[in-house]
Amino acid sequence: MTQEHGAIYSISGPLVVGENIPGARLYDVVYVGSSRLIGEIIEIREQKAWIQVYEETSGLTVGEPIETSGSPLSVELGPGLLTSIFDGIQRPLSELAKRSGIFIARGISTPSLDRTKKWEFKAVLSRGDVVSTGDILGEVQETTIITQKIMVPPGITGTIASIQSGSYTVEDTVAEIKAEDGTVHKISMIQKYPIRRRRPVSAKILPTETLITGQRVFDTFFPLAKGGIAAIPGPFGSGKSVSQQQIAKWCNAQIIIYIGCGERGNEMTDVLKEFPELTDPQTGKPLMDRTVLIANTSNMPIAAREASIYTGITIAEYYRDMGYDVALMADSTSRWAEALREMSGRLEEMPGEEGYPAYLTSRIAEFYERAGLVECLQSNDKKKRMGSISVIGAVSPPGGDLSEPVSQATLSVVKVFWALDASLAYARHYPSVNWLQSYSLYEETANRFYAKLVDPEFPSMRAKAIEILQKEADLLEIIRIVGMDSLSNADKVLLDTAKSLREDYLQQIAFDPIDTYSSIQKQKGMLETILTFHEEALGVVGHLADDADISKMFVLPVKKRIAMMKIRKEDSLETFVQLLSEVKKELTDFKGSDLQMGGREDMYKTINFLEETPEAE
């Protein structure tokens, strides 16, 4: 008699060893115990299989049955993904809540996509068309802003034998494709795809555009390309999650995948409650309509945390294949790495640095390599279709120390590094991106892109601004040693401009309704104004004696206007032109005025600045 199932041999936390499991294959999903907990085979040795279990294993007993599902850990891809919130193995949390209330019970298996909901399928191709993997058969209006393209699943080629527009559930057959050997593939709107395998593409290409996030420090100074990868490392309290959320909210990707991986429950709730209420600046539609959330909070099972980032990126690849720009945020990859470490420890593998497995670096690189700008896979004769995945991974280095293995492995692959700085956060400078440590290797791409999009001068403005900030650091060093007195007036102008750049440009208030998003045009306007003040002020100083008192220059009324630029509405962009002429006028007047004249007491009153100060964070 052949046995249908194997048995549990040992249990230690999320690691279960099973023996004699018929049909056991590496990375296949198995059902563990009589409560059928979901697990994945991660090692096979002779008759035994090592299984990481995605649910709490408390109460499992040695000898209970284990059965294999016969397929690897997969996600369901199809209409209904957007606006959903899943756990790390793509179970819809709303469905889990219906089944087990406020706490997540074990052994619940539920389909990822709603099986009963009907979608309007509009056929794009017709009977007799020859198709291959990736060709778009039809479309479904998934949300108000996103049309899901129903594609020929990987591995299928042939001639369309039937295709019919109409109202279907995800499992209904919408088309039939007859392969050359005569087999007929029934195509529904749902695809299953293993999460640990990359979805095939036609070709990978170098990024050409910038992902615009509406965050000045990122867009202007350290731009991320569409299809690029960035890391945000930072100690706790430095505003990592807020930065990630800001990008998720405002960036100009069409699809957002947000993975809360081993993070706080309340934080995910914040995202969950806030996103449906926010509108996308590009389309005016709810942000949730372009978003998939994956939440595996720190107290949810650790193995599912390991799976969550693969679940996320596979969904991202699916939308990329349709020709969309996808942005994926993973918060935080350190928690994912810790999940790897914990499983590795339980497997009694030889530990590498700080107990992390030796394969940590390759796993991280492999994950980030799934990002990129690609030419989507489809029949050769079709018009080229491009899609991209930009990945922004948060790293939470213990004690803020970047020399630890996860930060180092991440830094060796990413192209953009947004270094969050606890001391800036401590001084309430948000986003607390350190402008001296951060870098972007997409500068050239961004320069070309911005020169076309905004202003050919923008790249040089940017370079100038960075130079000023760099010089400021040097000057501050000098001041520390010899004091302010040693500075020339030109140096003082530079320090003032640097301060203006830091406070009026780099600092951006996420909670202010206007400042939360700056269009690239506004960014240029702001930067130009600050730099014009700098140039003009230098011009004035050049006409004065070396020991002239110029302190009044830094409190000219126009400085207040500059400080308020960030909370100016986007539709009043023409005021930047006006502001520029004011900068020039006031400085010219200043040059002509009597510098020894008493202080202008009314200066503080010229504009009621306090009234317009944004509500503090």
**Which residue in 429, 56, 22, 387 sits closest to 209, CA to CA?**
387
In the complex, least distance from residue 100 CB atom to another protein, rounded to whole angstroms: 8
Side chain identity at residue 500, one-letter code? S
Is residue 473 within 8 Å of 436, Cβ to Cβ? yes
Nearer to another protein by Cβ, of 58 and 596: the residue is 58
> By CB neighbour count within 10 A (0-12 exposed, 13-18 middle, 19+ buried), where does 8 fall?
buried
**Which residue in 186, 178, 86 sits closest to 132, CA to CA?**
178
> By CB neighbour count within 10 A (0-12 exposed, 13-18 middle, 19+ buried), where does 251 fall?
buried
In the complex, least distance from residue 61 CB atom to another protein, rounded to whole angstroms: 4
Q: Are strands 184-188 and 173-178 parallel, antiparallel or unpaired?
A: antiparallel
In the complex, least distance from residue 602 CB atom to another protein, rounded to whole angstroms: 11
List, as one string, the DSSP characters of 542-602: HHS-TT---GGGGG-HHHHHHHHGGGS-GGGTTHHHHHHHHHHHHHHHHHHS-TTSPP-TT
Nearer to another protein by Cβ, of 268 and 540: the residue is 268
Footprint of another protein (CB under 8 A): 9-13, 19, 56-63, 85, 93-94, 96-97, 100-105, 236-237, 260, 262, 264-266, 268-270, 272-273, 295, 297-302, 335, 338, 341-342, 345, 351, 354-355, 396, 398-401, 426-428, 511, 604, 608-611, 613, 615-617
> How far is 523 from 525, CA to CA, in rounded Å?
5
In the complex, least distance from residue 204 CB atom to another protein, rounded to whole angstroms: 35
Nearer to another protein by Cβ, of 40 and 267: the residue is 267
Nearer to another protein by Cβ, of 194 and 345: the residue is 345
Sign (positive or negative) of CA dihedral 453, 459, 461, 467 = positive
In the complex, least distance from residue 576 CB atom to another protein, rounded to whole angstroms: 23
In the complex, least distance from residue 516 CB atom to another protein, rounded to whole angstroms: 14
Q: Are strands 291-296 and 184-188 parallel, antiparallel or unpaired?
A: unpaired
For 467, residues 6+ apart whose C-beta sits below 8 A from its C-beta are: none
Q: Are strands 6-12 and 15-19 parallel, antiparallel or unpaired?
A: antiparallel
Structure tokens belonging to residue 69: 């599902």
Nearer to another protein by Cβ, of 106 and 320: the residue is 106
Beta bridge partners of 16: 11, 51
In the complex, least distance from residue 421 CB atom to another protein, rounded to whole angstroms: 14
Sign (positive or negative) of CA dihedral 304, 310, 316, 322 = negative
**Under DSSP, is residue 86 helix (H, G, I), strand (E, B) or coil?**
strand
> How far is 402 from 437, CA to CA, in rounded Å?
12
Residue with tokens 């957002």: 256
Cα distances (angstroms) measured from residue 521 to each of 444, 513, 525: 19, 18, 6
Nearer to another protein by Cβ, of 131 and 550: the residue is 550
> How far is 573 from 559, CA to CA, in rounded Å?
18
**Which residue in 16, 60, 23 sits closest to 39, CA to CA?**
16
In the complex, least distance from residue 184 CB atom to another protein, rounded to whole angstroms: 40
Nearer to another protein by Cβ, of 24 and 468: the residue is 24
Q: How many residues does the chain have?
A: 617
Nearer to another protein by Cβ, of 207 and 357: the residue is 357
Nearer to another protein by Cβ, of 140 and 294: the residue is 294
Nearer to another protein by Cβ, of 88 and 134: the residue is 88
Nearer to another protein by Cβ, of 308 and 532: the residue is 308
Beta bridge partners of 203: 375
In the complex, least distance from residue 59 CB atom to another protein, rounded to whole angstroms: 5
Nearer to another protein by Cβ, of 99 and 384: the residue is 99
In the complex, least distance from residue 556 CB atom to another protein, rounded to whole angstroms: 16
In the complex, least distance from residue 476 CB atom to another protein, rounded to whole angstroms: 14
Sign (positive or negative) of CA dihedral 214, 216, 219, 220 = positive
In the complex, least distance from residue 613 CB atom to another protein, rounded to whole angstroms: 6
In the complex, least distance from residue 87 CB atom to another protein, rounded to whole angstroms: 9
Nearer to another protein by Cβ, of 349 and 366: the residue is 349
Residue 213, number of CB atoms within 10 A of its CB: 27
Cα distances (angstroms) measured from residue 10 to each of 6, 29, 467: 12, 18, 61
